[in-house]
Amino acid sequence: MRIFLIMLAALVASPAAASDWRGDGKLVLTDGITTVEGAAGGGIATWAVIAGNETERGVGATAHASHVALPDFDLEAYGGAVGLFDRVELSYTRQSFDTRGLGAALGLGRGFTFQQDVFGAKVKLFGDAVWDQDRVLPQVSIGVQHKRANRGAVIAAVGGADDQGTDYYVSATKLFLAQSLLVSGTVRLTEANQLGLLGHGGDKGDDHTAQFEGSAAVLLTRKLAVGGEFRTKPDRLSFAQEDDAYDVFAAWSVHRHVTLTAAYADLGDIATVKNQRGLFVQLQAGF
């Protein structure tokens, strides 16, 4: 609750709140794409930037559809985010994790699907990732994500402590325009198993631990960026080791309001099934 009060105070205190609503004020691609959890950033790592193309005197929004095709599973995510005065971000994403044919082998039934709702909020504390070029200071934001999974009985059966939980994070992002280089780092307090799809906490512990998310990207042109990401995850379930995640990506601004992203993602072992590596694709629309 405290973090939401901070966000509300930041919005009310903004002198731009009573001004005209203006969008399209950001450089192309500098607002990031959408993570599989709904926040603005990369595909698997959250950034400090705020969703949408709005200026400090405007309101923006994004909508996304993402698909991760792995050898034995499929992960889909779709949702949207609203950016308020380039200060506050509110997001929602629905995730669907399809076990395909492997569901039968795991005793769950062919095509068994885990689903999860992720509600997020983020507030920029200080700095500007793009326009503060005369300062080393990055843009810094704090955020929260509340996750609710739909398979409570299965989660309990595999050792999960709860089918819902909340992550807290702080992100720092900086774009070096002269070098066309963006770097970002996030520290997340979480107890989520497989991003929360397998619940929160487990027989190996149910307390929040600090995990790291890092991104680096190079703007090859005004409309094309390439980069890579890394994300650590907690390992709370004895029945299956959870690995860290990596990806390399390319994001292309097809149009001022449309971004297409493709990545090769390595999610490691998932639910005892090894070497889950595959293609991540996302289409994002925003203003």
pLDDT digits (tens, 9 = 90+) for 149-165: 999 999 999 899 999 99
* pLDDT on residue 19: 38
- The runs of H, that is alpha helices, within 122-173 are 152-157
Mean pLDDT of the chain: 90
Q: Which of 27, 14, 158 is nearest to 87 (CA)?
A: 14
Residue 192 has pLDDT above 50, yes or no: yes
User: Which tokens belong to 287?
Assistant: 């203003």
Give the DSSP letter string of 34-92.
E-TTSSEESSSSB-SSPSSS--TT-EEEEEEEEEEE-SS-EEEEEEEEEEETTTEEEEE
pLDDT digits (tens, 9 = 90+) for 94-141: 999 999 887 777 778 888 999 999 999 999 999 999 888 888 899 999
Q: Which CATH architecture has domain 2-286?
A: Beta Barrel (2.40)
pTM: 0.88
Task: Give one word for 276, left, alpha or beta, with left for phi > 0 and alpha for psi -120 to 50.
Answer: beta
Distances (CA, A) of 29 to 54, 153, 164, 254, 286: 13, 41, 32, 11, 11
Domain spans of the chain, in order of start: 2-286
Q: Which of 248, 261, 170, 252 is nearest to 216 (CA)?
A: 248
* pLDDT on residue 24: 61
| 179, burial (CB in 10 Å: exposed 0-12, middle 13-18, buried 19+) | exposed
* pLDDT on residue 5: 38
Q: Distance between CA 151 and CA 155 in Å, rounded? A: 6
User: Which tokens belong to 235?
Assistant: 């390992």
* pLDDT on residue 23: 52
